[in-house]
Structure 1
Amino acid sequence: MEHLEEIWLNHRNKIIMVIVLLIGAVVVGGKAYHPQTNVNNDPFMTTTSKRIPTTQKQSQVKGGKAVCVDIKGAVLHPGVYRLPGGSRVNEALIAAGHETPDADMNQVNRAKQLVDAQVIYVPKKGEQIPSLLSGGGSSISAANENNPSGSQEIVNLNTATKEQLCKITGIGDKKADLILQYRQEHGSFNSVDDLKNINGFGEKTVTKLKPMLAV
């Protein structure tokens, strides 16, 4: 014990210096193993903060307003689809799950550009496209251009204005008002047959109007 006290008295300055150096080394080493997180270099922060929804990126690429089209006929999933502006018929077919094996694609113009409220009809082999849907496998409704076949345009019940409804043979001013009133009170039509819920639209009337209407 006396020997240790003697060592301490003779060398305490050196011992204190060694202890200080050891503490300093531990502190510096701890910082080296715990670097400060740089938010700007965090890949998760970058991905999250700059992520753009797919539909938004598509719209930016296409550079136009989105359109809704009604795809009918020989496709896997017929229905109404929303696509970026500038899209083509081919992209609408992809959205609908592509054509069925019995589809006659020779009658469909895949390159045709889509417009809002357009009806795309894909016929089966041996089937002729209905005259109201002629024009490269599609017909345009609620659009400011003429039907290339010169026939009655297809009108979407859920988007048509009163003026567009009145152009349909069999729908006058009064019936057009009833259709608009139904939309305000009940929302969108699920099918053309929903017209039967409106007073003045009987079975025969709706049957005659079906080729000229879509939802």
Structure 2
Amino acid sequence: MPSPPRPARFDPGRPGLLLLCAVAVIAAGLSAWLTWAGRPDSVPVPAAVLSAVDVPTPIAAPSTGPSAVASPTSVVVAVVGQVVTPGLVTLPLGSRVADAVAAAGGARPDADLSTVNLARVLVDGEQVAVGVPGAPPADGPSAATPDVPALLNLNTATESELEELPGVGPVLAGRITAYREDQGGFTSVDELQEVSGIGPSTFADLQDAVTV
């Protein structure tokens, strides 16, 4: 039995093969050109626009190195006078004079502390004098204040008390009490000038010593 005929094969030959290669190269080049031509165009940004854009300035962090100024935490004072160990003492900030005296070994048994305000807050670099003759009196509420004589009330004073006033004797004291009784009391110190025998000089001595 005869075999069926084989299908014929296409053979372009050498010239046809070269032609196919040329067509493939042209197609690839055309595709590459179309891709390049279709890319978006870059638009240059003018320099003036760039300069108008605010660029944030970096904020420097606070310095934490050795150059940073630290707040003082202590005070150094000199303790002199009647203490056990006079000299310089270093104490925490806010310490008081009593702390400085204690740091110097305490006051001696015979030390006079009346001129020392033990409650005062210390200041760096100061000198604390304990029981030193001629030292200035201590400041603050604990310092002793001289007694101020009380003013004599013209409406309640007796004749004997009035006689203790400068320039007032028994006769003038009687006139003051008589005027007080006649007028129903003094309403001001200036009324003393209405009393017979009290002139400008006597009134000048009395006006700062009496009240109503």
Taking structure 2 as the reference length, the TM-score comes to 0.30
Say which one has the larger Rg.
Answer: 2
Taking structure 1 as the reference length, the TM-score comes to 0.30
